[in-house]
């Protein structure tokens, strides 16, 4: 049974991880531990949130679960470091945990690669200035963003309070005809129970933050469980 540990910033919709575990079945454990800082979507605060010291604390908290891999479950707190800085961030996390490690930003890049997605639309909750870092990050990973929309929401707490209908409408409204998929990049946004509906409405794959984060953790240990309830990525196994 693979055990994937997730470091989640503060509190918002961390119950998505046990929800995913239930959908994936008894052969997967997805424990979550929290680190605390700001929930503000602003670059200086996000750089502090994803600092080596904070992530090392998350790794220490996860140790009791004896994870096979660990993932920093925060998109903005990883992509603001840009590609090389985010790679250094997860290398230090892996060293602190003594286990393979990754982050949500790399999860998006790897999931897009696994599905053969080269041109995407981004429906971001963040202010535009923060979301642009994600566009840059994806470009560094070989994924072209053909359209980017920003909801200009300042805090993770506000994102976590969005209704399922609001999440669906936001993602659907910001598709682009030239995009292979729509990416929704905030682990504070509840998406796992609506990703299939969004895909049905759009007729194309949708990648969301908590979805790709779970997938990435399992990928790190060579596991590719499938379910019909978490979008194209998990229907195909992403492999």
**C-beta separation of 21 from 30 below 8 A:** yes
Tell me, what's the pLDDT at 238?
A: 65
**Residue 28 pLDDT greater than 80, yes or no:** yes
73: pLDDT strictly greater than 70: yes
Domain housing 141: 114-208
pLDDT of residue 32: 98
E-only strand ranges, 10-125: 32-35, 69-72, 101-103, 119-124
15 plus 57 within the same structural domain: yes
Q: Residue 23: in which H helix or E strand, if any?
A: helix 16-24
Q: How far apart are alpha carbons 88 and 178 in whole angstroms? A: 33
- DSSP for 148-161? EEE----BHHHHHT
Reported pTM: 0.96
Q: What is the pLDDT of residues 138-170, one digit of tens each?
A: 999 999 999 999 998 988 788 889 999 999 999
Q: Which helix (H) or strand (E) holds 146?
A: strand 144-150
Q: What is the mean pLDDT of residues 89-110?
A: 98
Same domain, 91 and 169: no
The CATH number assigned to the domain holding 134 equals: 3.40.50.12500
184, 130: one domain = yes
């Amino acid at each position: 049974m693979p055990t994937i540990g997730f470091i989640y910033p503060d509190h918002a919709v961390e119950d998505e991880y046990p929800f995913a575990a239930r959908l994936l079945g008894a052969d997967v454990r997805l424990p979550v531990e929290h680190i605390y800082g700001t929930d503000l979507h602003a670059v200086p605060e996000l750089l502090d949130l994803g600092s080596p010291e904070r992530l090392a604390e998350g790794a220490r908290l996860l140790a009791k679960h004896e994870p096979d891999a660990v993932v920093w479950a925060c998109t903005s707190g990883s992509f603001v470091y840009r590609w090389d800085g985010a790679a250094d961030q997860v290398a230090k996390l892996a060293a602190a945990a003594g286990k393979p490690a990754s982050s949500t930003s790399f999860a998006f890049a790897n999931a897009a690669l696994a599905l053969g997605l080269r041109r995407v639309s981004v429906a971001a909750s963040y202010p535009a200035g923060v979301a642009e870092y994600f566009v840059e990050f994806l470009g560094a990973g070989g994924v072209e963003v053909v359209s980017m929309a920003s909801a200009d929401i300042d805090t993770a707490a506000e994102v976590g309070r969005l209704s399922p209908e609001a999440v669906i409408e936001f993602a659907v409204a910001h598709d682009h005809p030239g995009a292979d998929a729509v990416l929704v990049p905030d682990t504070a946004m509840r998406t796992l129970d609506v990703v299939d509906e969004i895909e049905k409405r759009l007729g194309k794959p949708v990648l969301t933050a908590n979805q790709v984060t779970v997938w990435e953790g399992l990928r790190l240990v060579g596991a590719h469980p499938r379910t019909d309830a978490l979008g194209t990525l998990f229907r195909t196994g992403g492999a």
